[in-house]
């Protein structure tokens, strides 16, 4: 291999340094045009050339658009167009995939000089293809008005730039596609929740009609209970699709909205909802909402037979400490008459339907259900396992 003259060696070393710096920028870039602009600036610098441009291929018009560049008249970038046929140097590089050097454009028989280049008095040009796994993106071109020689070794430098740009474009497009897919998925989940809620409202309506059609008080009561529970599930779904993110649902917002709905059904009672802002996944929000619904409905029905009173719903983030695993502490309390004597809501087999549901939801949430008996009223609490989304 012939030894490089010191000047040539210095140029190659500088080109290597510029290329490796650009590699870092290309990996980090989140926007295409600023990256292309940066590529053209650094490429011109490394080539010690006056002009550089990044051309994007427009297949419908079969032309190349100058989408970034240095040295060109101010209005060229973003508007100037170059033919993508084989008779233009850039078109040749694009269509054949081969790099092109032309050191004497005016004497060329292979190519005509595109208008943009003639207007700027360009004498020599070097073109490489920008490609990736999605196909050919376009061409990276360096030009100069001065006498001189572009060489084979310059191609390696420019192709390095073009490859980095091609890879960055592929990555950015893949990220954009993923983002769109996630957004669509989220939209569908929301739409599903909305539809589930509407369908359940229809079911609740049927149960109401059936209850009205029956003469038997027990049947009426059972159907009314079934209706309330179906409505509760519907309400939870109604809350779900309104949340900003389905991945992580804010317990505070979610429970406050649920309590506001329950309050509407019992205007004489006072529902106090104190929930810390903690995120939980939708899978937990559904049993949590139903659990609260069941206990608050009971308190509304039974706690204050003589009148009205307060019903408190609290959620605290207990955090992990020595021995305890952390998670959430949830409680539903009232200051009413309290549970009937000898009533054990956790004795699952003998328990009434409402309590069986409460116990089963507690298990889903990571229970166990605790009932405080040292003060008046009914006090239910539960520690929810720390499986929360961040
Ligand atoms: N907050 C409460 N205060 C007083 N009694 C309650 C309370 N919650 C539940 N109970 C009692 O527990 C019983 C069982 O409740 P539950 O299983 O939900 O059945 P239901 O609501 O269908 O009566 C109720 O009938 C009621 O006597
Ligand atoms: Mg009940």
pLDDT in tens, 148-188: 999 999 999 999 999 999 999 999 999 999 999 999 988 88
- Compute the distance between CA of residue 335 and CA of residue 346 in angstroms, rounded to an integer: 21
How far is ligand 1, taken at its centre, from the CA of residue 261, in Å?
A: 20
pLDDT in tens, 102-111: 999 888 888 8
pLDDT of residue 388: 46
Nearest CA to ligand 1 atom 8: 298
pLDDT of residue 382: 93
Smallest-distance ligand from the CA of 332: 1
CATH 3.30.450.40 domain extents, the chain: 6-176
Determine if residue 176 is left, alpha or beta; phi over 0 gives left, psi from -120 to 50 gives alpha, anything else beta: alpha
Query: Rounded mean pLDDT of 348-359?
Result: 78
How far is ligand 2, taken at its centre, from the CA of residue 199, in Å?
A: 23
Q: Which of 217, 352, 357, 376 to mutate to test the pocket of ligand 1 (most atoms within 8 A of CB)?
A: 352
- pLDDT greater at residue 137 or residue 327: 137
How far is ligand 2, taken at its centre, from the CA of residue 273, in Å?
A: 20
Smallest-distance ligand from the CA of 304: 1
102-122 in b/e form (b: 16+ CB < 10 A) is bbebeeeeebebbebbeebeb
How far is ligand 1, taken at its centre, from the CA of residue 380, in Å?
A: 12
Whether the CA torsion 111, 112, 118, 123 is positive or negative: it is positive
Asked whether the predicted pLDDT for residue 1 surpasses 80, the reply is no
Q: Which residues surround ligand 2, an ion (CB under 5 A)?
A: 298, 354
- Compute the distance between CA of residue 98 and CA of residue 331 in angstroms, rounded to an integer: 71
How far is ligand 1, taken at its centre, from the CA of residue 298, in Å?
A: 5
pLDDT of residue 186: 85
Nearest CA to ligand 1 atom 23: 354
- Compute the distance between CA of residue 316 and CA of residue 327 in angstroms, rounded to an integer: 9
Atom of ligand 1 nearest to the CA of 299: 1
How far is ligand 2, taken at its centre, from the CA of residue 388, in Å?
A: 28
Atom of ligand 1 nearest to the CA of 351: 17
- Compute the distance between CA of residue 277 and CA of residue 45 in angstroms, rounded to an integer: 53
- The percent of residues in the chain predicted with pLDDT above 70, rounded, is 94
pLDDT of residue 199: 95
Asked whether the predicted pLDDT for residue 324 surpasses 70, the reply is no
Atom of ligand 1 nearest to the CA of 378: 1
How far is ligand 2, taken at its centre, from the CA of residue 353, in Å?
A: 7
- Compute the distance between CA of residue 288 and CA of residue 363 in angstroms, rounded to an integer: 11
pLDDT of residue 390: 44
Sequence-distant (≥ 6) Cβ neighbours of residue 336 within 8 angstroms: 299, 302, 303, 304, 305, 309, 376, 377, 378
Ligand 1 pocket, CB under 6 A: 225, 298-299, 302-303, 334, 336-340, 343, 352-355, 378
How far is ligand 1, taken at its centre, from the CA of residue 306, in Å?
A: 16
How does residue 231 score in pLDDT terms, banded at 50, 70 and 90? Answer: confident
Strand bridging mode 135-144 / 124-132: antiparallel
Beta-bridge partner residues of 317: 328
Smallest-distance ligand from the CA of 297: 2
How does residue 233 score in pLDDT terms, banded at 50, 70 and 90? Answer: confident
Q: Among the CATH numbers 3.40.50.720, 3.90.1170.50, 3.30.565.10, 3.40.50.2300, which is that of 243-390?
A: 3.30.565.10
What integer best gives the mean pLDDT of the chain? Answer: 89
Query: Rounded mean pLDDT of 349-367?
Result: 84
Query: Rounded mean pLDDT of 252-269?
Result: 88
Query: Rounded mean pLDDT of 107-135?
Result: 92
pLDDT in tens, 8-63: 889 899 999 999 999 999 999 999 999 999 999 999 999 999 999 999 999 999 99
Determine if residue 135 is left, alpha or beta; phi over 0 gives left, psi from -120 to 50 gives alpha, anything else beta: left
pLDDT of residue 373: 85
Smallest-distance ligand from the CA of 338: 1
Q: Which of 310, 354, 369 to mutate to test the pocket of ligand 1 (most atoms within 8 A of CB)?
A: 354
- Compute the distance between CA of residue 164 and CA of residue 167 in angstroms, rounded to an integer: 5
How far is ligand 2, taken at its centre, from the CA of residue 378, in Å?
A: 13
Domain 6-176 has CATH 3.30.450.40: yes
Atom of ligand 1 nearest to the CA of 225: 22
Atom of ligand 1 nearest to the CA of 355: 17
- Compute the distance between CA of residue 110 and CA of residue 105 in angstroms, rounded to an integer: 9
């Amino acid at each position: 291999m012939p030894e490089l003259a010191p000047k040539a060696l210095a140029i190659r070393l500088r080109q290597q340094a510029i290329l490796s710096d650009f590699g870092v920028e290309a990996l980090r870039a989140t926007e295409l045009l600023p990256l292309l602009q940066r590529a053209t600036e650094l490429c011109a610098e490394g080539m010690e050339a006056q002009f550089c441009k990044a051309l994007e291929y427009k297949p419908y018009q079969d032309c190349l658009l100058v989408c970034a560049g240095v040295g060109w008249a101010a209005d060229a970038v973003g508007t100037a167009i170059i033919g993508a046929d084989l008779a233009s140097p850039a078109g040749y590089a694009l269509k054949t995939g081969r790099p092109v050097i032309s050191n004497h454009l005016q004497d060329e028989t292979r190519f005509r000089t595109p208008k943009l280049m003639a207007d700027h008095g360009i004498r020599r040009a070097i073109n490489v293809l920008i490609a990736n796994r999605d196909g050919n993106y376009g061409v990276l071109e360096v030009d100069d008005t001065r006498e001189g020689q572009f060489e084979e070794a310059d191609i390696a430098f420019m192709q390095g730039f073009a490859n980095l740009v091609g890879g960055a474009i592929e990555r950015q497009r893949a990220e954009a596609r993923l983002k769109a897919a996630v957004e669509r998925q989220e939209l569908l989940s929301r739409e599903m929740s909305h539809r589930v809620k509407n369908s359940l409202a229809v079911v609740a309506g049927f149960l109401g009609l059936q209850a009205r059609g029956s003469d038997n008080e027990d049947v009426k009561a059972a159907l009314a209970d079934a209706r309330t529970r179906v409505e509760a599930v519907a309400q939870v779904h109604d809350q779900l699709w309104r949340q900003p993110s389905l991945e992580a649902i804010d317990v505070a917002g979610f429970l406050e909205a649920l309590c506001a709905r329950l309050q509407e059904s019992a205007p004489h009672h006072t529902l106090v909802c104190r929930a810390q802002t903690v995120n939980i996944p939708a899978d937990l929000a559904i049993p949590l909402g139903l659990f609260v619904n069941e206990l608050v409905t009971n308190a509304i029905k039974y706690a204050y037979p003589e009148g009205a009173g307060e019903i408190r719903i609290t959620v605290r983030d207990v955090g992990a400490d020595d021995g305890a695993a952390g998670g959430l502490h949830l409680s539903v309390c009232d200051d009413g008459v309290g549970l009937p004597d000898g009533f054990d809501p956790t004795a699952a087999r003998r328990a009434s339907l409402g309590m069986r549901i409460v116990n089963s939801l507690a298990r889903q949430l990571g229970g166990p259900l605790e009932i405080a008996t040292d003060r008046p009223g009914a006090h239910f609490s539960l520690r929810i396992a720390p499986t929360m989304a961040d």
